[in-house]
Structure 1
């Protein structure tokens, strides 16, 4: 009688956990399939960049063609003498500087809207969101005229200002959801101990919300790095960015697919490296504000 009562629950437990175990395997397989599907365009672009121009231009593409680095040599100016380093440095400068400014402005704003909420904070959040409702091309002409009168055309710091203003609303929305998860007891204890606002932000908020800050910084960096419209219109020779330099490979002589793919791979590498380096913080940060 005793053996029956001890083995029956174990059998029921095995029957319950079995389907869940298989369900977890199916979800894992689906995750791998989705990951491979997202990687497939970049993998195809990388493979095309390693082909010669005749092999890359065949229809259907010749996957088994010989590999070469000629496309990457063309990107780094072997035949033209045009170096890609100035545009890459311009993109790096604009992206990093604007990301730092976005964090400096977004963290205190999110602190005021979540931990120390201001009056009618929902109206403030809607105002931030409303700034993203206007298409970027609609504000292109006014921004161009203002930059022309201010003498800031073809100036990298103009892009820093624009990228900061473009990414700040999204950063405030993200940081508010992250900071809302910070335990209020920690902040109350710090206030009782005499900590000021700057101390709370740097020594308490920043370590606790580090995953959210990393996710916000990475998304702001990606948006700034990939921006083309304003960089194409407002810059020229001096402040041209990597996406603008990339469009120069589409010429009137035709589309040299291998060279364009090689250039696109090189321009995409900084974003891929940044995302890979911060992938653990990115996953934690993106899930931090969603779990209540």
Structure 2
């Protein structure tokens, strides 16, 4: 197995929304805001080369939305999905599977692109299967008013119409279940219903793609829950259980939204799980 970070592009969101009830005077120490109260975020996805499979976990915002839409998110930097794939030695046509932690636009927007004459949409990965789960698909395609702006039909329906959409079955009884993609999956429901976190075994270490359960290093403490979460009290319970297991078993966390930190280990303190060490993908996997 070879693991690559795929930087699809950076953006900004309101720091208060990203930290919920936590005061700015506290979260600003780990995630400093600009003059507009916006904080730096990444859309760092994950590419797994495993035998004949090339699995992309999430794919960022994409590039098909309007200039007005992207204006809300203050895009910055020069990263892109295609450049990151090329740096890893691949093309999007090489991808065999696209695993989507959940279907908010900043995680799945790159799944679908304009067709050649911009009259409609088509899959951006023509040779890949798109993986979600049935319960989350129902949640996303029949959205509640709170999340409606995050579940965009143009990101979702073309996956179904292409015939490339596949569902992972959830086994309710287990914290971690194995999947047909060769890695374990942990389901969490606080941020959105049936979000899926991949657990990878690499050279004897367990690494968890933390997605929106723990989007940045600054979100490790239990009360640091995003205002975007639909069930914040459930997120608290899920984080507590997850972090306990992570500390006990020396898991590494891979961050999707931390623009300045890629990977960390954890340690137990009097205040609970906290950051121990920071790592880059290049340090751990000898990849850029």
**Structure having the larger proportion of residues in helix:** 1
Q: Which has the larger radius of gyration?
A: 1
With the shorter chain as reference, the TM-score category is: under 0.3
Q: Which has the higher contact order (CA 8 A, sep 6+)?
A: 1
Normalised TM-score (structure 2)? 0.22
**Structure having the larger proportion of residues in strand:** 2
